[in-house]
């Protein structure tokens, strides 16, 4: 039986998250939009995470459909993609969730309003966040990037769509499932790229819908945090940044839903004989690849000149 089009499948990936997980689970129950189901993929927890999840399912499974699966144990990106591509996951809206945040009550309702139900295009949505520390105290918040919602040319070199608040519409989910699991570093970057490279659109909400927890176990951390911002700036000049970009490009070229213009651009990017110096910089400029800020773009061009992009 087809799922109600207003039903949102919450996709929660967990691994040793018992410390903060109860607050996140409780925040689902406080959502003003109550038409949701919960799919959980645990990636090999050895703490009390599974006990918490089973207890939550026992307490609330009579009202909500709650599924608990085992992840591939290959990192967060692989875990999310395995869940997105699970053959039994219902078609429709999906909302990605980290295990250690807290959703504000209107988070799902606001995303639903931002995603036109009759739009046949793939759409990926994300909102801004309040930052909180391990004890839940607020420490500022994110702001929309100066360049606005990403298009493919800007998404290629920078991810500004927060995975912890990301929602995909049904055509976007179908696109992800058609592409299948990919060997990429960051699932939210990949989802934004795939949607924008395939004729879809990114929707960036300027309002905040999540309390985004900052603690020692964060995979990357908040971009507004000075330490994280400096790390991101210098990472552009490291070889692993270029490897991430190249991996994204190869993964995109392996799919069949790209627009012709994007396929041509990616083919040039991955096969052009100029691998360093001014010629490599000119290639990026001719393709329109850039970051949200002028400084970020210049750092990428420097990385390209050094042969690292």
Residue 1's pLDDT is 45
Q: What tens digit of pLDDT does each residue of 229-284 get?
A: 666 667 888 889 999 999 999 999 999 999 999 999 999 999 999 999 999 999 99
In a domain, 180, yes or no: yes
**Rounded to whole angstroms, what are the CA distances from 257 to 32, 67, 152, 251?**
35, 30, 14, 12
Task: Report the candidate in 135, 104, 128 with the shortest Cα–Cα distance to residue 24.
Answer: 104
Q: Which pTM value belongs to this model?
A: 0.93
Cβ of 128: how many Cβ atoms within 10 Å? 19
Q: Which residue has the higher pLDDT, 281 or 118?
A: 281
Residue 4's pLDDT is 80
In a domain, 263, yes or no: yes
**Rounded to whole angstroms, what are the CA distances from 234 to 240, 281, 296, 304?**
11, 18, 10, 14
Q: Which residue has the higher pLDDT, 229 or 207?
A: 207
In a domain, 242, yes or no: yes
Residue 187's pLDDT is 98
CA distance 252 to 264: 12
In a domain, 254, yes or no: yes
Boundary of a domain, candidates 169, 195, 221: 221
CA distance 136 to 213: 7
Boundary of a domain, candidates 155, 188, 221: 221
Residue 226's pLDDT is 57
Q: Are residues 149 and 253 in the same domain?
A: no
What's the domain count of the chain?
2
Q: Are residues 187 and 266 in the same domain?
A: no
In a domain, 131, yes or no: yes
Q: Residue 46 pLDDT more than 50?
A: yes
Q: Are residues 152 and 240 in the same domain?
A: no
Any idea what DSSP says for residue 268? H
Q: Residue 49 pLDDT more than 60?
A: yes
CA distance 29 to 118: 28
Q: Are residues 184 and 275 in the same domain?
A: no
CA distance 120 to 206: 24
Stretch among 150-159, 194-203, 237-246, 261-270 having the lowest mean pLDDT: 237-246
**Rounded to whole angstroms, what are the CA distances from 229 to 165, 186, 221, 233, 291?**
20, 17, 9, 6, 14
Residue 219's pLDDT is 52
Boundary of a domain, candidates 186, 221, 256: 221
In a domain, 227, yes or no: no
Cβ of 121: how many Cβ atoms within 10 Å? 14
Q: Are residues 251 and 183 in the same domain?
A: no
Q: Are residues 185 and 85 in the same domain?
A: yes
CA distance 68 to 66: 7
**DSSP string of 47-96, one letter each residue:** SSHHHHHHHHHHHHTTTS-EEEEE--SS-HHHHHHHHHT-TTSPSSEEEE
Q: Are residues 76 and 119 in the same domain?
A: yes
Q: Are residues 132 and 159 in the same domain?
A: yes
Q: Residue 218 pLDDT more than 80?
A: no
Q: Residue 83 pLDDT more than 50?
A: yes
> Domain containing 208 — which CATH number?
3.90.550.10
In a domain, 94, yes or no: yes
Q: Are residues 213 and 247 in the same domain?
A: no
CA distance 23 to 279: 51
In the beta sheet, which residues pair with residue 37?
A: 9
CA distance 25 to 63: 14
Q: Are residues 175 and 289 in the same domain?
A: no
Question: Over the chain, what is the mean pLDDT?
Answer: 94
Q: Residue 212 pLDDT more than 70?
A: yes
Q: Which domain holds residue 267?
A: 234-305
Q: Are residues 264 and 140 in the same domain?
A: no
Residue 233's pLDDT is 64
In a domain, 186, yes or no: yes
Across 50-76, average pLDDT? 97
CA distance 308 to 301: 10
In residues, how long is the chain?
309
């Amino acid at each position: 039986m087809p799922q109600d089009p207003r039903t949102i499948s919450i996709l929660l990936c967990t691994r040793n998250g018992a410390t903060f997980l109860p607050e996140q689970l409780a925040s689902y129950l406080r959502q003003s939009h109550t038409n949701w189901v919960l799919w959980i993929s645990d990636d090999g927890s050895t703490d009390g995470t599974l006990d918490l999840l089973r207890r939550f399912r026992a307490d609330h499974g009579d009202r909500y459909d709650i599924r608990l699966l085992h992840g591939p144990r290959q990192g967060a990106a692989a875990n999310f993609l395995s869940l997105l591509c699970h053959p039994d996951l219902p078609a429709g809206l999906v909302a990605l969730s980290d295990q250690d945040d807290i959703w504000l009550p209107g988070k799902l309702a606001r995303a639903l309003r931002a995603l036109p139900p009759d739009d046949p295009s793939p759409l990926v949505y994300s909102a801004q966040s309040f930052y909180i520390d391990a004890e839940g105290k607020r420490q500022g918040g994110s702001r929309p990037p100066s360049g606005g919602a990403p298009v493919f040319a800007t998404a290629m070199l920078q991810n500004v769509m927060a995975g912890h608040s990301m929602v995909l519409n049904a055509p976007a989910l179908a696109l992800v499932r058609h592409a299948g699991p990919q060997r990429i570093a960051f699932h939210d970057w990949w989802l934004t790229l795939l949607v924008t490279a395939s004729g879809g659109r990114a929707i960036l909400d300027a309002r905040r819908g999540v309390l985004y927890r900052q603690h020692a176990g964060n995979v990357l951390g908040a971009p507004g945090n000075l330490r994280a911002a400096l790390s991101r700036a210098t990472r552009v000049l490291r070889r692993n940044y270029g490897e991430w970009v190249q991996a994204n490009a190869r993964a995109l070229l392996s799919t069949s839903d790209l627009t012709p213009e994007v396929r041509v651009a990616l083919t040039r990017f991955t096969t052009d004989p100029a691998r360093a110096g001014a010629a490599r910089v000119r290639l990026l400029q001719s393709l329109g690849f850039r970051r949200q800020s002028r400084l970020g773009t210049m750092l990428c061009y420097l990385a390209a000149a050094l042969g690292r992009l």
